[in-house]
Amino acid sequence: MIIPLKPLHDQYKIKRVVVSTYQAVSGAGRKGIDDLKRTQNGKSPQKFPYSIYNNCLPHIDDFLDSGYTKEEIKMVNETQKIFSDDNIKVTATTVRVPVENCHSESVNVEFDKEFQLKDVRSMLSQAPGIVLRDDPKNNIYPLATAASGHDEVYVGRLRRDDTVNSGLNMFIVADNIRKGAATNTVEIAELLIKEGM
C-alpha cells in the first residue's frame, strides 16, 4: 500500500486511509499454504481456526481488547511511521483469503489537497516499482495471478470517492513473498550501500 501512496502523499498530503486487505495464505507461511490444500481436500484446518478453502477469515494474528487484530494495528502504526506523520488517520480490516500467493488491498484515501484523476494516473504510471492496470471497461485491473512472481506493485480501479472533498479509491495487489519480504530486504540493502552506510 505504501509504494503507491508515497508519491500521492508527497503531492496531495494524506489525511486518512481506510484499507481492507485480502491476504494470501502464504502470508501465514508454509502452514497457511498447507491449510488451504488440506481444507480443499475436506480435512480439518491445523493453522487457521476455520477452513480457509472457499472461505474468508476476518482474522489475521491475535485479537486485541479493542476488537482490532495485531495485524490491523500494525498497518496503522507502520503507515504513520513510514510517512513520519502521526496525524495520518488509518483504519484497517485484514482478511485471510483462499489465494495461495499475493496480497490485495482495497484502499480509500482522503487528501488535504484537491486532485485530478488524470494527474494521479500519470503520477502512478511513472512511479518506480508500480504497474498501472486501470482500464476497467476492458477488464484491466490488478490481479493476484498477474502480480505473482513480480517485484512491482499493481495498482488500478482508480476512482473518486465523492463522499468526501478529496477522496480516492484504488485497488492494489503485490506478491507478498517477493515484495513484502525478499525484495524489500534487497532494496534496503542496495539503498544502504548507495548511501555509503
**Strand order in 130-132's β-sheet?**
89-96, 14-23, 103-111, 167-174, 153-161, 130-132
Tens digits of residue pLDDT in 33-63: 999 999 999 999 999 999 999 999 999 999 9
Q: How far apart are CA 174 and CA 22, in angstroms?
A: 11
**Per-position DSSP letters for 110-137, written without gaps between them:** EESS---HHHHHHHHHHSTTEEE--BGG
**pLDDT at position 178, please?**
86
Tens digits of residue pLDDT in 151-179: 999 999 999 999 999 999 999 999 999 87
Q: Over 80: is that where the pLDDT of 25 sits?
A: yes
Q: Over 90: is that where the pLDDT of 192 sits?
A: no
Q: Over 60: is that where the pLDDT of 189 sits?
A: no
Would you call 176 exposed, middle or buried from its count of C-beta atoms within 10 A (0-12, 13-18, 19+)? buried
* Least confident stretch, 18-32, 40-54, 178-192: 178-192
Q: How far apart are CA 51 and CA 44, in angstroms?
A: 7
Q: What is the mean pLDDT of residues 143-158?
A: 97
Instruction: Give the contacts of 100 (CB within 8 A, at least 6 positions apart).
Output: 24, 25, 26, 33, 36
The distance between the two most distant Cα atoms of the chain, rounded to a whole number of Å, is 54
The cell for 197 is 552506510
